[in-house]
Amino acid sequence: MRKVISILILVCILLLQPSLWSGEGSIPEVLHLRKIIHAQQLDLDSLKQRNQQLAEQLKYIKANPESVEEHARYKLGMIKKGESYYQVIMPVE
């Protein structure tokens, strides 16, 4: 009886081996998916950090109305009526 049970267990183990090493749910696939999850987690962390920076910028802009004008002047090149805009281009060496 023990011999029969041992043989049945061995047959079950041998039948499960192919699915363990190839196909859906196999060890190589699981390792590959873990790498993908790790990469996506790094991307998510980066995006969370960027969102936090944007939230801080928004908070600053809401608290300082003059910051909107500053942003428009320096980053967008806007000027007020009556002002002259000069752009200095440095020579490339």
pLDDT of residue 82: 87
pLDDT of residue 18: 72
Render pLDDT for 34-68 as a digit per residue (tens, 0 to 9).
999 999 999 999 999 999 999 998 898 888 878 88
Residue 19: C-alpha distances to residues 4, 9, 11, 28, 83 (Å): 24, 16, 14, 11, 75
Whole-prediction pTM: 0.55
